[in-house]
Structure 1
Amino acid sequence: MNHSSSRSHLIFTLTITQTDEKLQATMRSRFHMVDLAGCERLKRSMLSDGPAPGSSPSFPGATPRDRDQRREAGAINRSLTQLALVIHRLTQPVAGSGIRHVPYRDSMLTRLLADSFGGSSKTCLIITCSPLQKDREETK
């Protein structure tokens, strides 16, 4: 785990609006730059050097800060799982009814990025990951 990381997602959205007076038409474009927090195994991210002072019986060795980090890591992992589910649903063929439920509303992350996945949107993904053997399982 990168201990200097802020452990959060960052979304920067630039909205550009163009108006054509002659045609009385307005076109709006959005550009999202997104930096997603890394998905880490809770067991690995909570490794400790032994029992810590003030640790709780439910998480031996865990301090209040450790428990906060554990909750934060869980929330990040849930939002990344929801993003993966949205992408998976969008890539599946539509069933016989012609209606496909895409769970955009199940996380704030997917709500904010919903317009990036449909219509005439273009999406580019840049991934950074560790080349180390010990990180292979987390890079899948």
Structure 2
Amino acid sequence: MPFTATDHPLKRGALAKRFGCNIETIRYYENIALLDAPDRTHSGHRLYSSGDQARLGFILRARELGFSVEELRSLLSLSDSHDYTCGEVLTVTERHLDDIGRKIADLRRLERTLADLSARCAGGNVPNCPIMDALMADA
């Protein structure tokens, strides 16, 4: 889903609707300082500029790709400096890709273990269950 900014400021509710996220999500990114506090109207309503909107789009897309908050903080810091190299961005991305590879390997091991346990279980109405036995043995 593309996260596109508008040319005009949006209130928080309209911003959340436009980007398909919760108001609490926007508030969270403000609280952890990934998103700057927006300007306010005279009546106190938050107004998110096109720059704020673009930054939120960047944050949401990076989170969709699984970047952690700290990785995202690094990417935003590079972006904010306006003096980054593609190599610096690649370094952050490759570290993230390595993390994903480790998680996939962990999930494959988990899948093999559960498949093995499931294969040893006949199901049915017997009181002995190899799955429960295996879980109890590790407890």
Q: Give the TM-score normalised by the residue count of structure 1.
A: 0.28
Give the structure with the higher percent helix.
2
TM-score when scaled to structure 2?
0.28
Higher strand proportion: 1
- Structure number with the bigger relative contact order (C-alpha 8 A, sep ≥ 6) is 2
> Bigger radius of gyration, 1 or 2?
2
